[in-house]
Amino acid sequence: GENVEQHPSTLSVQEGDSAVIKCTYSDSASNYFPWYKQELGKGPQLIIDIRSNVGEKKDQRIAVTLNKTAKHFSLHITETQPEDSAVYFCAAVFSNSNSGYALNFGKGTSLLVTP
């Protein structure tokens, strides 16, 4: 099945700096890569996603890049703010006859933005 590796597991930055989280995946058939933000006591919230026919996507301070050849994708957060502090998960969709369509998640990155 699909494996998604995510690094780093923890990241601490100062307010205003940039944060980068990187993920790799194994299934070359994966065609959809969402990023989720999870705050304490809440479910994951979709913050940005990218499809395999696009190399980069940006939404205000958040951007995602995808390198299909290398099978890796990254989340970039610029001008970080304390409210960006949370756990971030990357994911890749996979499908087979048993699982249908499902998301395979990385293990998460705990981001701390200090004032």
Partner 1 sequence: ETGVTQSPTHLIKTRGQQVTLRCSSQSGHNTVSWYQQALGQGPQFIFQYYREEENGRGNFPPRFSGLQFPNYSSELNVNALELDDSALYLCASSTDRAPLSGYTFGSGTRLTVV
- Of 70, 110, 103, nearest to 3 (Cα)? 103
The number of CA neighbours under 13 Å toward the Cβ of 10 is 2
Site string for partner 1, 31-70 (x = CB under 8 A): xx-x-x----xxxxxx--x-x-------------------
Decide whether 34 or 113 has the Cβ nearer to partner 1. Answer: 34
Query: Among 19, 75, 91, 111, which residue sits at the site for partner 1 (rule: CB under 8 A)?
Result: 91
State the pairing for strand pair 86-96/109-114: antiparallel
Estimate to the nearest angstrom the gap between the alpha carbon of 98 and the chain centroid.
25
Chosen residue from 26, 65, 78, 95 binding partner 1 by CB under 8 A: 95
Contact (CB, 8 A) for 108 and 8? no
For partner 1, give the closer residue by CB, 58 or 79.
58
Residues in contact with partner 1 by CB under 8 A are 4, 6, 31-32, 34, 36, 41-46, 49, 51, 89, 91, 93, 95, 98-108
